[in-house]
Amino acid sequence: MAAIIILLICLHLCTADLGIMEINRIPCAHDNWSGNDRFMKHHLHPDTPTTTDIEEWTKFIKKINCCSRVMQSFLNPEQTSKVEQVCTEAGGKVFQPNNNLCISKDKFTFIEVRVSSDECKVFKVSNVTQNIILGCDRFREKCLPVHFESNSNNKTPQKSDTNCGSALEVWN
Ligand SMILES: *[C@@H]1O[C@H](CO)[C@@H](O)[C@H](O)[C@H]1NC(C)=O
Ligand SMILES: *[C@@H]1O[C@H](CO)[C@@H](O)[C@H](O)[C@H]1NC(C)=O
């Protein structure tokens, strides 16, 4: 019974940020009380392995109870403030209209793992360097990351794009 409850909680936590984005969203304009906490657990975890060793990554994914997501990305927790800056004018540009996404001005190096969910085993660990795309919402008067969007086409921001975080000004 307990195992089933834990599994259900994990399924919920692990799939919650795959939900369909609301339309008419812009970065930093909506309050989101739980999104940043979840982002930190899933993408900026303090215990993130610093190697590309498959065994270590399997142990870690089991420990944080996230076996159900087949592809997961982990940023370097030492870069937390730099990651948070992607949701501000200093570090990010609005990625596309009608969404809360911002793309980083700088490239980040992070680890991408592929998980075989039925056995809860990591089978591929890649060290990726690219611009990152984050969902950014308001939390306690700050604009913070709430979602990691994969940048599968290796997009980069344009100089002419609006800076991220501009919507926060309107509110303050
Ligand atoms: C908070 O962020 C998460 C992750 O992007 C999203 O699924 C959720 O809908 C957001 N909540 C609100 C109230 O905007
Ligand atoms: C990933 O690559 C970067 C630069 O290419 C390197 O500095 C870093 O140590 C690598 N990380 C891991 C975990 O192998």
What separation in Å is there between the alpha carbon of 153 and the centre of ligand 2?
21
Sign of CA dihedral 77, 88, 71, 126: negative
pLDDT for 164 beyond 50: yes
Matching CATH number, 25-171, of 3.30.470.10, 3.10.130.10, 3.20.20.300, 3.10.150.10? 3.10.130.10
pLDDT for 133 beyond 70: yes
Which atom of ligand 2 approaches the CA of 50 most closely?
Answer: 13
Question: Measuring from atom 2 of ligand 2, which residue has the nearest CA?
Answer: 127
As a whole number, mean pLDDT of residues 38-46 equals 96
Residue 138 region, left (φ>0) first, then alpha (ψ -120 to 50), else beta?
beta
Residue 15: per-residue pLDDT: 45
74 three-state secondary structure: strand
- Helix axes of 2-16 and 35-43: crossing angle, nearest 10 degrees: 100
Q: Which of 127, 128, 129, 130 to mutate to test the pocket of ligand 2 (most atoms within 8 A of CB)?
A: 127
Q: Show me where the domains of the chain are located.
A: 25-171
As a whole number, mean pLDDT of residues 54-81 equals 96
Residue written as tokens 């940020």? Answer: 17
Average pLDDT, the chain: 87
pLDDT for 171 beyond 60: no
pLDDT for 44 beyond 60: yes
First to last CA, the chain: 48
DSSP output for 91-102: TEEE-STTS-EE
Residue 62: per-residue pLDDT: 96
Residue 68: per-residue pLDDT: 93
Sign of CA dihedral 56, 123, 63, 50: positive
Cβ pair 137, 86 in contact under 8 A: no
Residue 38: φ, ψ to 5°: -65, -40
Residue 25: per-residue pLDDT: 76
As a whole number, mean pLDDT of residues 108-135 equals 97
C-alpha to C-alpha distance for 75 and 118, rounded to whole angstroms: 25
Ligand nearest to the CA of 129: 2
As a whole number, mean pLDDT of residues 76-97 equals 95
C-alpha to C-alpha distance for 83 and 159, rounded to whole angstroms: 19
pLDDT for 18 beyond 70: no
Question: Measuring from atom 7 of ligand 2, which residue has the nearest CA?
Answer: 109
pLDDT for 19 beyond 60: no
pLDDT for 37 beyond 60: yes
What separation in Å is there between the alpha carbon of 149 and the centre of ligand 1?
13
Give, for 50, the enclosing helix (H) or strand (E): none
C-beta 126 within 6 A of ligand 2 = no
Question: Measuring from atom 3 of ligand 2, which residue has the nearest CA?
Answer: 109
pLDDT for 14 beyond 50: no
C-beta 156 within 6 A of ligand 2 = no
Residue 96: per-residue pLDDT: 81
pLDDT for 12 beyond 50: no
Ligand 1 pocket: which residues have CB below 6 Å? 16-17, 19, 30, 32, 35, 135, 137, 146-147
Using pLDDT thresholds of 50, 70 and 90, give the confidence band for residue 99: confident
